[in-house]
Chains A and B, each alone.
Chain A
């Protein structure tokens, strides 16, 4: 793999020190699923979601941009003008979305490299799949819209936050769309369902459980007005009833987030108009 020499590289082989840390009392409570059942770290009930903050127009030089915050998960997205698809000979009838999701090097517990790793590539692809159905791609044939998502801080639900954020940014960039996309995530471990898990809970849900039990994570992206699921992504291992149960809960949460996203867009429109009328 080519290495960018101009960047400051860490030592060739280095490990995050937290691997060698003795788990202290606080960590212990969460490594035991039965304790997670009673108290969540941020005091929520199991099926409560976190508070969400959205804002559009945060990057002045991008065509459209948005910022989404789910308490400690912070995601920023910018969308740029359509441009011709590079290195493409034949004409494509539909425009394309070019999505890049990147974790900031300091966004996770362990340091992330500057170059996209396979997890980020997978998330980028999921992001693209989630947005494609919502965009009127026939409106810009042979062109691509660049969507860059940067995760500033990761505390669980990254993909969900990224999808919601990119949906807002696309709308802010005046890209023609059928509907807004909102997304939500859910974790399962044993018989417990945890709505909108934080990073620690996500890790717990991807840990192994006894044979025959369910565990894993589900993320769903939804177009609220059309009730169309644009993307669903599940990992772990669970029964099909468990998956469909998780789906229905997630759809409900996506529908709850939808008006918040709408209000955020309305607010940005009102702001622009009032700014224009005063100037």
Chain B
């Protein structure tokens, strides 16, 4: 990826490291780099999260708006992903440079959210055929240190967990128009169910081995990677090959196995981190005052 130049000798060094299951930074093949997670850091978004995976920095904000449901899916809400590869991350993204990567990530995310088993869009419906919630998931890539897919998906899942959708108190039909009354209390919201939302796991092939969480240097010496969307209970919601290269069927089936295991672990770790962060936020929350409470 971005702006890393490696000589043949350096590539061979990384390759030999992977072969003996000891990577440059001391990890084994299936280890992730340290991650940091922060929730609720953007005041104007309904939900937000920031994930830092070593040098990769992702900021996600979720905004909810009201929209008309699609005619072919009258009882479902909408969710849309926008990825912005800003030139802050690397000069290569300047202008239209990051566009291809951005569409690839956002398309992959929407494919993995497509199944009703992964994310329940029906809960976002307000009034069948007339009104629904639309979630805008905006993803900002602040720094790019390899393994964008995984970091983005973690941040998206965390931000969706953090999203507060206002509660609709009353609905009235006035002629053809809908009159919605939202709750006046800013804390009177409901949370999205993110239990089955998948995390993406990228498996990068270096030599004959598959590794998880590649650094930018490792991505540079690999020809092919595989991205899997894995849910908490180990189901695969989407699978695709990214970058040039190809796979032998054996490598692919092995990748499926490894990817599912890693994905389950990743989901579990994220869940724990979310609970911890939630507790911290709860402790910091300003006390509510007001004469009716």
A contact residues vs B (CB 8 Å cutoff): 15, 19, 118, 121-122, 125-126, 129, 132-133, 137, 206, 208-209, 211, 215-216, 218, 223, 226-240, 243-244, 247-248, 251
Q: Assess the B247–A237 pair: CB atoms within 8 A.
A: no
Q: Assess the A231–B253 pair: CB atoms within 8 A.
A: no
Q: Assess the B239–A234 pair: CB atoms within 8 A.
A: yes
Interface residue from B100, B116, B243, B252 paired with A232 (Cβ < 8 Å): B252
Q: Which residues of B are found within 8 Å of A244, using beta-carbon distances? A: 253, 256
- A121, A122, A206, A209 pick with most chain B CB within 10 angstroms: A122
Q: Assess the A118–B236 pair: CB atoms within 8 A.
A: no
- The answer to the question of B111 belonging to the interface, with a C-beta cut-off of 8 Å to chain A, is yes
Contact with A along B232-266 (1 / 0, CB 8 A): 00111111111111111100110011011000000
Cα–Cα, bound, A216→B244 (Å)? 25
Q: Assess the B240–A227 pair: CB atoms within 8 A.
A: no
Q: Assess the A19–B238 pair: CB atoms within 8 A.
A: no
Q: Assess the A251–B236 pair: CB atoms within 8 A.
A: no
Q: Assess the A15–B71 pair: CB atoms within 8 A.
A: yes
Cα–Cα, bound, A199→B180 (Å)? 39
Q: Scan residues 185-235 of chain B and give those whose CB is less than 8 A from a CB of chain A.
A: 224, 226, 231, 234-235
Closest to B117 in A: A237
Q: Assess the A129–B242 pair: CB atoms within 8 A.
A: yes
Give the Cβ gap from A219 to chain B, nearest Cβ, in Å: 10
Q: Assess the B245–A235 pair: CB atoms within 8 A.
A: no
Give the Cβ gap from B78 to chain A, nearest Cβ, in Å: 13
Interface residue from A125, A126, A208, A229 paired with B247 (Cβ < 8 Å): A229
Q: Assess the A239–B236 pair: CB atoms within 8 A.
A: yes
A-B contact pairs, 18 of them (CB 8 A): A129-B242, A129-B243, A129-B244, A206-B115, A208-B115, A229-B241, A229-B246, A231-B241, A232-B226, A232-B252, A233-B240, A235-B237, A237-B237, A239-B234, A239-B235, A239-B236, A240-B256, A248-B249
- The answer to the question of B179 belonging to the interface, with a C-beta cut-off of 8 Å to chain A, is no
Q: Which residues of A are found within 8 Å of B71, using beta-carbon distances? A: 15, 19
Q: Which residues of B are found within 8 Å of A230, using beta-carbon distances? A: 241, 246
Q: Which residues of A are found within 8 Å of B243, using beta-carbon distances? A: 129
Q: Which residues of A are found within 8 Å of B104, using beta-carbon distances? A: 125
Give the Cβ gap from B68 to chain A, nearest Cβ, in Å: 10
Cα–Cα, bound, A133→B231 (Å)? 30
Cα–Cα, bound, A75→B169 (Å)? 51
Cα–Cα, bound, A211→B117 (Å)? 6
Give the Cβ gap from B120 to chain A, nearest Cβ, in Å: 10
Q: Which residues of A are found within 8 Å of B224, using beta-carbon distances? A: 133
- The answer to the question of B64 belonging to the interface, with a C-beta cut-off of 8 Å to chain A, is no
Cα–Cα, bound, A226→B245 (Å)? 13
Question: Taking A15-B71, A211-B117 as contacts, is the C-beta distance between A229 and B248 under 8 angstroms?
Answer: yes
Question: Taking A230-B246, A244-B256, A248-B249 as contacts, is the C-beta distance between A237 and B236 under 8 angstroms?
Answer: yes
Give the Cβ gap from A67 to chain B, nearest Cβ, in Å: 26
Q: Which residues of A are found within 8 Å of B257, using beta-carbon distances? A: 240
Cα–Cα, bound, A232→B259 (Å)? 15
Q: Assess the A122–B253 pair: CB atoms within 8 A.
A: no
Q: Assess the A133–B249 pair: CB atoms within 8 A.
A: no
- The answer to the question of B103 belonging to the interface, with a C-beta cut-off of 8 Å to chain A, is yes
- The answer to the question of B114 belonging to the interface, with a C-beta cut-off of 8 Å to chain A, is yes
| Chain B, interface SS category | mixed
Interface residue from B72, B103, B249 paired with A121 (Cβ < 8 Å): B103
- The answer to the question of B30 belonging to the interface, with a C-beta cut-off of 8 Å to chain A, is no
The 4 closest A-B CB pairs, nearest first, are A208-B116, A234-B239, A133-B246, A228-B246
Give the Cβ gap from B8 to chain A, nearest Cβ, in Å: 13
Give the Cβ gap from A164 to chain B, nearest Cβ, in Å: 16
- The answer to the question of B28 belonging to the interface, with a C-beta cut-off of 8 Å to chain A, is no
- The answer to the question of B107 belonging to the interface, with a C-beta cut-off of 8 Å to chain A, is yes
Q: Assess the B237–A236 pair: CB atoms within 8 A.
A: yes
Q: Scan residues 61-118 of chain B and give those whose CB is less than 8 A from a CB of chain A.
A: 71-72, 100, 103-104, 107, 110-111, 114-118
Give the Cβ gap from A177 to chain B, nearest Cβ, in Å: 13
Q: Which residues of B are found within 8 Å of A251, using beta-carbon distances? A: 249
Cα–Cα, bound, A233→B116 (Å)? 18
Closest to B239 in A: A234
Q: Which residues of A are found within 8 Å of B235, using beta-carbon distances? A: 237-240
- A215, A223, A232, A233 pick with most chain B CB within 10 angstroms: A232
Q: Assess the B248–A133 pair: CB atoms within 8 A.
A: no
Q: Which residues of B are found within 8 Å of A137, using beta-carbon distances? A: 244
Cα–Cα, bound, A261→B269 (Å)? 48
- B107, B226, B260 pick with most chain A CB within 10 angstroms: B107
Closest to A245 in B: B253
Give the Cβ gap from B203 to chain A, nearest Cβ, in Å: 12
Give the Cβ gap from B246 to chain A, nearest Cβ, in Å: 4
Q: Which residues of B are found within 8 Å of A216, using beta-carbon distances? A: 115
Q: Assess the A122–B115 pair: CB atoms within 8 A.
A: no
Closest to A210 in B: B117
Interface residue from B240, B253, B256 paired with A126 (Cβ < 8 Å): B240
Closest to A134 in B: B246
Question: Taking A19-B72, A122-B111, A235-B111 as contacts, is the C-beta distance between A247 and B236 under 8 angstroms?
Answer: no
